[in-house]
Amino acid sequence: MIRVAVGKTLGAFALDIAFESDGGVIALFGPSGSGKSATIGLIAGLTRPDRGVIALDGRALVDTAAGTFVPPHARRIGLVFQDAQLFPHLSVKHNLLFGRWFAPKAERRIALEPVVDTLGIGHLLDRRPGRLSGGEKQRVAIGRALVSSPRLLLMDEPLAALDAERKQEILPLIERLRDEFGIPIVYVSHAVEEVARLAARVVVLAHGRVAAAGSVEDVFGGSVAQAGESRFRRASFVTARVAGHDETWGLTELAHSAGTIWLAGRAGPPGRDCRVVIRATDVTLATERPSGLSVRTVLHGTIARIEADAGPLASIVVDLDGHGHVLASATRKALDELRLAPGHPVFALIKTVALDEQSVALAPASAPA
């Protein structure tokens, strides 16, 4: 359990935040400059708060009123940054073993072998970091943090420097370490896709304050959490159930009460709950059920809210039959011409080609998504 309630002034920037997490992955989400990395620095002990408390499993790491400040190396917190920050003169194996020095012998819960297996880095052990790709380096950085048997893992945009393909290789590995090693993780990102796949809870920061906090479903139920994001990055997700695979056409059918969602590719066994991430720019709205279109996914819903940008665009939050929301981007002109307003019924159309396996996060086999 991590509890954070701190204030810190950094030049002209004032951070004043409070949140708690009792395990799993909690995401810190928010636009650039909102204070995500500053928060990570405070939890790791790289900086000291001006006031407040940070406690891990009931033990104060910082308590300014009591004069407590546990130094970073004694916090037992693993860190993974965007840039892997490996020791260039050490082999991969010795980089990994370096992490162990920080764990007292009695607390070395995590052995090297399962970490190497999970991350698929066994063939790299004798290499130096200079001879690794970006994705390989990042796996080793994650491994080094894990073998220190940390009480908490802080991951600050660990995928931001990787291309889309590398990201898709590493995301499942982070899912596995979340599920197999049981270490609580604070995960910083401004990618909705990553947050939707990994996190149970999210804290949205804006201008150094907590703008929203709660379950991922609740916080991303509308577009408010993404107000600072460009229209190309805005996304929502819906929880659906894998209904089956169409082997002839290579499609997966996902059941939702608002309609069937089709995605190109295979995603999970039938019966499994999942979250489907849908970019707002991939959603088209229609006032009538369309015919003669190639679009396969037609979800019926009701306009819950319209948020007009300063420019020509608007974000439309569509309530899906009381089971989640989908976010659409449209021009204000189109809204005007279709006379769309809150309370109106609409159909949300999503191209099948906009969704594939990578748009889907499977819920653990036994738990709801």
Q: Which residues bind ligand ATP (CB under 6 A)?
A: 10-11, 13, 30, 32-38, 190
Name which of 38 and 80 has its Cβ closer to ligand ATP: 38
DSSP string, 134-169: HHHHHHHHHHHHHHT--SEEEEESTTTTS-HHHHHH
Residue 188: CB minimum distance to ligand ATP, A = 7
Q: How far is CA 369 from CA 90, 238, 268, in A?
A: 41, 10, 13
Nearest to 167 by CA among 180, 158, 176: 158
Of 35 and 184, CB closest to ligand ATP: 35
Q: How far is the CB of 233 from ligand ATP (least distance, A)?
A: 12
Beta bridge partners of 245: 252
Q: Which is nearer to ligand ATP, 24 or 228 (CB)?
A: 228
The whole-angstrom separation of Cα 108 and Cα 158 is 24
Between 8 and 275, CB nearer to ligand ATP? 8
**Smallest separation, CB 186 to ligand ATP (Å):** 13
Beta carbon nearer to ligand ATP, 110 or 206: 206
* Cα–Cα distances in angstroms (integers) from residue 84 to residues 92, 135, 209, 310, in the given order: 12, 9, 28, 39
- The residue among 62 and 240 lying less far from ligand ATP, judged by its C-beta, is 62
C-beta of 306: minimal distance to ligand ATP in Å? 28
Q: How would you list the strands of the sheet with 325-331, edge to edge?
A: 283-286, 345-350, 297-308, 313-319, 325-331
Q: How many CB atoms lie within 10 A of CB 230?
A: 8
Smallest distance, ligand ATP to C-beta of residue 20, A: 20
Q: CB of residue 24 vs ligand ATP: minimum separation in angstroms?
A: 22
Residue 187 near residue 196 (C-beta atoms within 8 A): no
